[in-house]
Amino acid sequence: MKRIIASLLTALALASGAHAAEGGIPLDRFPKERVTDLAALQHGAKLFVNYCLNCHSAAFVRYNRLQDIGLSEDQIKQNLLFTADKVGETMTSAIKPRDAKEWFGAVPPDLTLAARARASHAGTGSDWLYTYLRTFYKDDTRPTGWNNLAFPNVGMPHVLWELQGERAAVYKEEVDPHDEKKKVHTFTGFEQLTPGKMSPQEFDNAMADLVAYMTWMAEPNAQGRVRIGVGVMIFLLGFFFIAWRLNAAFWKDVK
């Protein structure tokens, strides 16, 4: 038993260390109500196709599944069908995997389940994506010229920089509270270097829509399962009440 407990504690420590190594900033909370907003989901799908599918894929989703968020087959063909010929095909990336590996050093990951895979003790996968997409900044020491607070030293460039504009991360040098001889750099905010096509609020709203779509894409039937679950709970409560009254009726004359 002691060995089992020790193994579990070690696994938890390793998981916590891996999370801290990836990025230790607090995650911003994703506005969950966007996932049930059809207009937000449609706008998010447009952003995903225009900015994400150039390098990434969503190979577990077919274009015709977008009809579930209120888009007609005709709208999908005219506005979103850029990497396929038929709406029944999957959402593959525009770039060839061989070219992607040569240019970036690795094939960009499939994003179908990204909103679920990024969940941790710090927040949901949607929270992580919402924070990640909004915390890129200029860093000339990186090969792409960009870095990210939620994912330090990320290999992905800031593909949405035209919308957000260029920003620099501002740090303040302070004395380490645990060691007065050491200096630590604390992040204090961003400095806007060049304006983007969107205001900061507009960009945040756009990223909320994009994350809403990615959250829906990771589990399209989530809302249906919630409705089924609520119905089952109501049924069980009703059945429990009937069983309780029947039990009282059967045993009322037994002493």
Per-residue pLDDT of the chain (255 residues; tens, 9 = 90+): 444 444 444 444 434 444 443 456 899 999 999 999 999 999 999 999 999 998 999 999 999 999 999 999 999 999 998 888 899 999 998 888 888 777 777 888 999 999 999 999 999 999 999 999 999 999 999 999 999 999 999 989 999 999 999 999 999 988 877 777 788 888 999 999 999 999 999 999 999 999 999 999 999 988 788 888 889 999 999 999 999 988 888 888 776
* One domain, residues 70 and 105: yes
Q: Do 132 and 31 have their domain in common?
A: yes
Q: What is the structure's pLDDT at 214?
A: 97
Q: How far is CA 37 from CA 4, 42, 111, 138, 165, in A?
A: 45, 9, 21, 33, 27
Closest CA to 216 of 1, 55, 45: 45
CB count within 10 Å of CB 62 equals: 16
195 by DSSP, 3-state: which? Answer: coil
For residue 130, give both structure tokens.
């919402």
SS3 content of the chain, % helix, strand, coil (to 5): 50, 15, 35
Answer whether 0.75 is exceeded by the pTM: yes
User: Does residue 52 have a known ligand-binding role?
Assistant: yes
178 annotated to bind ligand:
no
**Number of compact structural domains in the chain:** 2
6 found inside a domain:
no
Answer yes or no: do 92 and 191 share one domain.
yes
Cα–Cα distance between 120 and 19 in angstroms, integer?
8
In this structure, is the dihedral angle defined by the CA atoms of residues 216, 26, 191 and 33, taken in order, positive or negative?
positive
Whether residue 126 is found in the same domain as residue 212: yes
Same structural domain for residues 241 and 194? no
Task: Kindly state whether residue 2 falls inside one of the protein's structural domains.
Answer: no
State residue 255's pLDDT score.
62
Regarding whether 199 and 230 lie in a shared domain, the answer is no
Is residue 19 marked as binding? no
Verify that 62 and 174 share a domain, yes or no.
yes
